[in-house]
Amino acid sequence: MREVEPAIAVRAPLRHDGERRRWYCDGGEACLVLTARGRLLEPHPTFGPRAYRLLARRVNFREADAYARAHGFPHLRTIEPEPPDSGRAGARRA
């Protein structure tokens, strides 16, 4: 896990990457995100983010889980990847 200093902003929506896991704080006001490419992010705002703050790169699940729990984000949610024909931008339409 490589923590990033100083903070780097990442625009939403994520391109060539996607959210795979989210850890929420009690009450759900904030969360941390682990992406498919191993980035640990903090979305702003939490729901429907316009941007993310990059916290670390090259993060695996165990490292992300330990970091999240140590920083007050105990509630884990797994996010299923969207299928290629989900109708999102860039998908071919019939």
Q: Per the structure, how many domains does the chain have? A: 1
What does the pLDDT average to over 31-39? 97
The residue ranking higher by pLDDT, 7 or 14, is 14
pLDDT, one tens digit per residue, over 39-76 is 999 999 999 999 999 999 999 999 999 999 999 999 99
Range of the domain at 34: 16-78
Which of 10-19, 50-59, 74-83 bottoms out in mean pLDDT, i.e. has the lowest?
Answer: 74-83
Instruction: Note the pTM of the prediction, 2 decimals.
Output: 0.83
Vertex 11 angle, CA 44 and 72, to 5°: 35
By residue count, the chain amounts to: 94
10 close to 41: Cβ distance less than 8 angstroms: yes
Structural domain contains residue 63: yes
pLDDT for 86 beyond 50: yes
Query: What is the C-alpha to C-alpha distance for residues 43 and 77, in angstroms, rounded to an integer?
Result: 15
Domain contains 11: no
